Structure 1
Amino acid sequence: MKQGSCRERLNAELKDRLRDIRTLWRLNQKHPDASHPELGKFKEYGLVLDYVAKGTFQDQKRGYFRWQLSWGGPADEFRFYLDEDLDAVEIRYLFLDWNDCASKKLSGDTYKLLDEIFQHFKDIGIVEAERAKSIS
């Protein structure tokens, strides 16, 4: 059965991800070791938060932090584009599947949620540690 293009699937994939992330984030705010029976713990969600330096990929004009949630086909991630103070100025969701990719710039409540989560990553030291790796 042929699935639609990434563009056709993007909004549904984002909606599903956000449902899981909101659930886990609420649990994490109550207690960092709280666990959801199907989703696990917030701190175990996704694969990695890392820094992708400018020029890593062909035609990549600026660096970004990537919260990679899944890998392979399909894969999805959030990208955080930052200012000089390491504050997000743009957040995008990307859905990728074998030579196809679609992205969506976040806004409103969705942007606020992901920005809050990125602040959490900063507060616990992941952002600075990943940035330091990229410049060493």
Structure 2
Amino acid sequence: MKQESCRERLNGELKDRLRDIRTLWRLYQKHPDASHPELGKFEEYGLGLDYVAKGTFQDQKRGYFRWQLSWGGPADEFRFFMDENLEAVEIEYWFLDWNDGASKTLSGDAFKLLDEIFQHLKDMGVVDAERAKALSS
């Protein structure tokens, strides 16, 4: 049986991720130490946030922040493209599997949710710290 392509799987994977993130974010907002029985804590969801400087990858024209949720095959992540004030101007979801990948630009409620989370990380100092770390190496 042939594996579906990343493009064919993209919308389902994004829908599942957004459902989990929305659940954890609401729980976190009520109480930062709250834990979901299956998903854990918001702060522990995913692998981490880092800054990917312009030119890190071949033909990469601009830097972005990456919230990497999983790694390997498959992997998925959100990419936050910023303006000069570190305000999100575009947020993409990427679903990647060996030698295949697909992405979708977020809009509407999905964009608002991820932007709200990014603003929270910015307020906590995580965004500035990750950007400084990447640009100093």
TM bracket (short chain): over 0.9
Pair 1:115-2:123 in alignment: no
How far residue 41 of structure 1 moved from its aligned partner, in angstroms, is: 0.3
Q: Identity of paired residues, percent?
A: 85
Pair 1:96-2:96 in alignment: yes
Q: Distance in 2 between matches of 1:9 and 1:135?
A: 34
How far residue 36 of structure 1 moved from its aligned partner, in angstroms, is: 0.2
Runs of 4+ residues deviating >6 angstroms: none
* 1:128 matched residue in structure 2: 128
1:18 alignment partner, SS class: helix
Aligned 1:1-136 pairs, distance under 5 A? 1-136=1-136
2:104 alignment partner, SS class: strand
Unaligned runs of at least 5 residues, structure 2: none
How far residue 135 of structure 1 moved from its aligned partner, in angstroms, is: 1.9
Question: Which amino acid counterpart does residue 110 of structure 1 have in structure 2?
Answer: A
TM-score, normalised by the number of residues in structure 1: 0.98
1:86 alignment partner, SS class: coil
How far residue 60 of structure 1 moved from its aligned partner, in angstroms, is: 0.4
How far residue 46 of structure 1 moved from its aligned partner, in angstroms, is: 0.3
Q: Distance in 1 between matches of 2:98 and 2:121?
A: 29
Q: Distance in 1 between matches of 2:30 and 2:11?
A: 29
Question: Which amino acid counterpart does residue 40 of structure 1 have in structure 2?
Answer: G
How far residue 2 of structure 1 moved from its aligned partner, in angstroms, is: 2.7
RMSD between aligned alpha carbons?
0.6
